[in-house]
Amino acid sequence: MTTHQTPTATPTLVLDEARALPGALRRSLRHRGTRPSDDLVLVSQWRAGPASDHAGPFLTSLTRFTPKHTRDLPGIWLAGIRLADQLIRLDGAVGVATYIRPGRRSIEVGSLSVWTDEAALGAFVSLPYHVVIMDRYRPRGLPVHSATWWSDAPTDVTKEVEDGLRLLDSSNERRVTQRPR
């Protein structure tokens, strides 16, 4: 596990593999007392898709889900890993990372995915397994929030997650879209 931090950045841990999540959370809680930093974000390793050599522009999508019960977290995390397994096989998928933000009043989980275009993202959203997972967990939490934006070049994954979370935190809308500049 690697820690990425700049003087003004959100504390972020990059998880080398999904199995590291429970231990990382325990260490985070021990290190910070009974409650981790409100801004701590744990990010999984980036998983490249078949379009990872795409020249751009890139459509980035960040989703955020807040489960009502922490007992749902293991199932949600495993479902996210399985969805990522499918995502990285889709045409137009540049890649994906999942994250968890444990320090809020409620724990937040989600993913950052990068695509070549809106059609590729739409193909993922309509996958049968994605629909089943969304139907299973939607009633178990607050509404899913998502942000999409275009960029000319991909940047650091943790920076993209942090930027997307700031975008969602600053809006009352469930879906936020930033148009190309």
pLDDT tens track for 9-22: 444 444 445 455 55
Q: Is residue 75 part of a domain?
A: yes
Q: Does a structural domain hold residue 89?
A: yes
**By three-state DSSP, how is residue 101 classified?**
strand
Note whether residue 20 is domain-resident.
no
Judge whether 136 lies within some domain. yes
Cα-only R_g, the chain: 15
Residues 94, 116: contact at Cβ < 8 Å?
Answer: yes
Number of domains in the chain: 1
* 3-class state of residue 179 by DSSP: coil
- pTM listed for this prediction: 0.75
Q: Which residues of the chain have pLDDT under 50?
A: 1-16, 18, 27-36, 180-181
Q: What is the pLDDT of residues 65-104, one digit of tens each?
A: 888 888 888 888 888 888 889 899 999 999 999 998 887 6
**Cβ-contact 14, 1 below 8 angstroms:** yes
CATH of the domain at 64: 3.30.70.100
Q: What is the structure's pLDDT at 30?
A: 45
- Give the domain range for residue 151: 47-178
Q: Is residue 12 part of a domain?
A: no
